[in-house]
Amino acid sequence: MDSLRTLFTRISEGCRSLLNRLCLLSLLPCLCNAHAETGERLTLCIDFGCKHEQTVLIDGIALQGVEATLKKAATAEEERLAVGLAIGRIERLAGQRSPIRHDRARNARVGEPGQLDCIAESRNTRRILGLLMDRRLLRWHLPRERVRRAPWLFDIHWAASLQETRSGKYWVVDSWFRDNGEPAVVQSLSAWRKGEPFEQ
C-alpha cells in the first residue's frame, strides 16, 4: 500500500512538473511579444535650435518594420535608400507621441510648436542613426558627426552624416528638406556641400 502511495505521489509530481513546463512553454510567445513591444526610448529635439527635448517610446512592433526594410538592403546604395526611409518612419512614430508631427519641410512654420530647424533635425537624425547602429542594422555605413555648410557665410546649414565603410566616402542624411515622416534626403557630402539638387 505504501509503495502504491509513493508511486502515485511520484506520478502526480511528474504530471505537475510536466504541466508547469507546458504552461511555461505556452507563455513563451507572450514573453517574446512583450520584449518586442518594449521598443526603444529616444530623446529628440522638439523645437527650433533644440531648446527643448522630449523622450519618446518608439513601439517595438513598429520598429520591426523598419528593421525589415534595412535588412533587405543588399548593397551600400540600397542601405542608403533604406536609411532615408527609416528616418522618415521613425520620425513619424515619434510624432505620434510628440509635437514633431507638426514639422513641415524647411522652416515652413517658424515659431509654431513642433517645427524644427536644421539644428534640431540634424541632432534628431544623428540620434536615430545611432539607434540603428545600436540595433546592428547598418552593415555598410557608420554614423559620423554632424556636418555643416555655409554657402553664403551667414546661412549655415547642418545635417547628419554616414561614412561608407568600404570606400570611406561620406554621405549626408538630411531630414530638414521634407515634412515629418517623409524619407530623409541622402546625398554625397560633396554634392550636399555644393547645394546640388537632389531627387524630390
* Residue ranges of the chain whose pLDDT lies below 70: 1-37, 151-154, 200
Angle at Cα 137 formed by Cα 54 and Cα 84, nearest 5°? 65
Report the pLDDT value the prediction gives residue 77, as an integer from 0 to 100: 97
- Rounded CA-CA distance 46/55 in Å is 10
Would you kindly state where each structural domain of the chain is located, as residue ranges? 39-194
- CA-to-CA separations, 24 to 10, 31, 34, 116, in angstroms, rounded: 21, 10, 15, 48
Instruction: Say which amino acid occupies 93.
Output: L
- Rounded CA-CA distance 130/64 in Å is 17
Report the pLDDT value the prediction gives residue 30, as an integer from 0 to 100: 47
Report the pLDDT value the prediction gives residue 24, as an integer from 0 to 100: 42
3-class SS of residue 133: helix
Report the pLDDT value the prediction gives residue 18, as an integer from 0 to 100: 54
- Rounded CA-CA distance 138/119 in Å is 24
Report the pLDDT value the prediction gives residue 174, as an integer from 0 to 100: 97
